[in-house]
């Protein structure tokens, strides 16, 4: 069983993280004052539409954004500030204390190096192992992530492996040095259902064995329901809701979250041959070149009033029923008065 995340100090603390990029005469505000904590052994799912800032937030945490990015805010890993740290210092941290599984392993793995060489480089750099030791450890890691015939696989190249195996190799590289935090960016994208289940089982096993804290970036709410402890919902670069997973699914308090959950196909939805169109969130995501002092979801929400279009809602705890989790927060002026039908 994983440690109780409520009682422990965070291993990762992100505060008011903002990221912007210059594009000609325009400034794109990709991430706008996002904050969250991550405890040991906890899985935090970050969800939202494509372009909402999920991956940029994590790349900023890792210190992997290009020099053209302007980053403000704080990123503390085990009490150590990473935001603004020299690249030489970040190189010691990345792969050792915090690691990332990227979305597409075929572009992340080096096509001309064997699997064993690529895992071994991480071990030799961060743990000082010699070539023989790194080879044996690589075999152990491939076994850990469920790859059969590991001694054969370490001699093979990425193109010789299936998509699911390549993703497992990426996980093996990421956890080679037992990092405190693992960021998984859409780890099951483009994989079939059975392979997806295997990847998620590997992540769950690592969490239980090593106490690894995981940030799981995904758009798949089914994966969120099965794997996460807490959920952070992002919209147009901002955090709009954060809650324990059961609380979020049972009583979402932001109209955007309700729209996302309403667009999920329910079991038996086509029973009896009746086809019903899934509800959708109307309108378009606002341009990230603007940063209004207002609710960015207001143009698409039936609850929007003058307050929503002229003042930015704070990200604060919502009033809940007795026994509900006090960690439930939302950035919505109407979070405490919301009814079920809130999205056009």
Q: CA-CA distance, 6 to 81, in Å (whole number)?
A: 22
Q: Cα-Cα-Cα-Cα dihedral of 105, 106, 108, 111, to 10°?
A: 140
Q: When comparing pLDDT for 6 and 66, which is higher?
A: 66
The string of pLDDT tens digits covering residues 7-37 is 578 999 999 999 999 888 889 999 999 999 9
Q: How many CA atoms lie within 13 A of 118 on its CB side?
A: 24
Domain ranges of the chain: 1-97+177-264+281-344
Q: Is the pLDDT of residue 338 over 90?
A: no
Q: Is the pLDDT of residue 5 over 50?
A: no
CATH of domain 1-97+177-264+281-344: 3.40.50.300
- Supply 37's token pair: 């904590």
Predicted TM-score of the model (pTM): 0.89
Instruction: Look at the block and give the residue holding tokens 């009746």.
Output: 274
Backbone angles phi, psi at 193, to 5 degrees: -60, -40
Helix (H, G, I), strand (E, B) or coil at 129: coil
Question: How many other C-beta atoms lie within 10 A of the C-beta of residue 328?
Answer: 21
Per-residue pLDDT, 145: 87
Per-residue pLDDT, 269: 52
The string of pLDDT tens digits covering residues 181-192 is 999 998 877 677
Per-residue pLDDT, 206: 82
Q: Is the pLDDT of residue 324 over 80?
A: no
- Read off the pLDDT band of 50 (50, 70, 90): confident
Per-residue pLDDT, 341: 47
Mean pLDDT of 227-245: 96
The string of pLDDT tens digits covering residues 88-100 is 999 999 989 999 9
Please state, rounded to an integer, the average pLDDT across all residues of the chain: 87
- Read off the pLDDT band of 344 (50, 70, 90): very low
Mean pLDDT of 46-60: 93
């Amino acid at each position: 069983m994983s440690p109780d995340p409520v009682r422990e100090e965070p291993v990762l603390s992100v505060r008011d993280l903002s990221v912007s990029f210059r594009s000609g005469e325009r400034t794109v505000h990709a991430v706008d004052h996002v904050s969250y904590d991550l405890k040991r052994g906890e899985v935090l799912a970050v969800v939202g539409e494509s372009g909402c800032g999920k991956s940029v937030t994590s790349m900023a945490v890792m210190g992997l954004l290009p020099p053209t990015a302007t980053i403000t805010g704080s990123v503390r890993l085990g009490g150590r500030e990473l935001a603004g740290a020299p690249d030489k210092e970040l190189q010691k941290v990345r792969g050792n204390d915090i690691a990332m599984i990227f979305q597409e392993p075929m572009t992340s793995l080096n096509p001309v190096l064997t699997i064993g060489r690529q895992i071994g480089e991480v071990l030799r750099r961060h743990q000082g192992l010699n070539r023989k030791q790194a080879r044996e450890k690589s075999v152990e890691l491939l076994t850990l992530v469920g790859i059969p015939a590991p001694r054969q696989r370490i001699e093979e190249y990425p193109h010789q492996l299936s998509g699911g195996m390549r993703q497992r190799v990426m996980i093996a590289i990421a956890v080679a040095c037992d990092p405190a935090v693992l960021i998984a960016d859409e780890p099951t994208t483009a994989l079939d259902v059975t392979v997806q289940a295997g990847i998620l089982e590997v992540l769950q096993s690592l969490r239980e064995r090593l106490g690894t804290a995981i940030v799981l970036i995904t758009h798949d709410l089914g994966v969120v329901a099965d794997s996460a402890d807490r959920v952070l919902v992002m919209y147009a670069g901002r955090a709009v809701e954060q809650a324990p997973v059961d609380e979020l699914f049972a009583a979402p308090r932001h109209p955007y979250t309700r729209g996302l959950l309403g667009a999920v196909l329910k079991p038996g939805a086509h029973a009896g041959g009746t086809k019903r169109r899934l509800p959708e969130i109307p309108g378009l995501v606002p341009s990230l070149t603007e940063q209004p002092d207002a609710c960015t979801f207001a143009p698409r929400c039936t609850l929007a009033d003058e307050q929503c279009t002229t003042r930015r809602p704070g990200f604060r705890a919502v009033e809940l029923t007795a026994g509900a989790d006090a960690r439930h927060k939302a950035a919505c002026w109407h979070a405490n008065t919301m009814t079920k039908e809130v999205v056009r």
